[in-house]
């Protein structure tokens, strides 16, 4: 029983990730957002550092990719990128 309880949250997270991935794929097919590969192709020249993580957020204003980067000095930066245009909306020092 303990094992089942321990695995329940993991299954829930996996289901959420699957649904989110499906929603992203559907939005790309409809032309509502750009593919992540296109986003990265456009923003990588503007990013100074190594990409650590990328998250998709469908905010109330517009869909965004949050790109977390480790810069050369060891700081963790968060770039918010418009998923429709690949335009960098904001940059935050996330230390």
Tokens (6 digits) for 79: 């770039």
User: pTM for this structure?
Assistant: 0.76
What pLDDT sits at residue 9? 47
- Judge whether residue 2 has pLDDT over 80: no
Between 63 and 8, residue with greater pLDDT: 63
Tokens (6 digits) for 37: 């590969």
What stretch of H or E contains 29?
A: helix 2-29
Radius of gyration of the chain (CA): 16
């Amino acid at each position: 029983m303990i094992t089942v309880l321990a695995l329940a949250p993991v299954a829930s997270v996996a289901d959420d990730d699957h649904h989110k991935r499906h929603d992203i794929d559907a939005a790309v097919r409809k032309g509502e957002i750009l593919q992540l590969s296109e986003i990265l192709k456009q923003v990588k020249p503007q990013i100074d550092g190594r990409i650590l993580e990328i998250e998709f957020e469908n905010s109330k204003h517009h869909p965004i990719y949050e790109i977390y980067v480790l810069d050369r000095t060891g700081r963790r930066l968060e770039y918010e990128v418009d998923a429709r245009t690949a335009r960098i909306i904001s940059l935050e020092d996330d230390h």
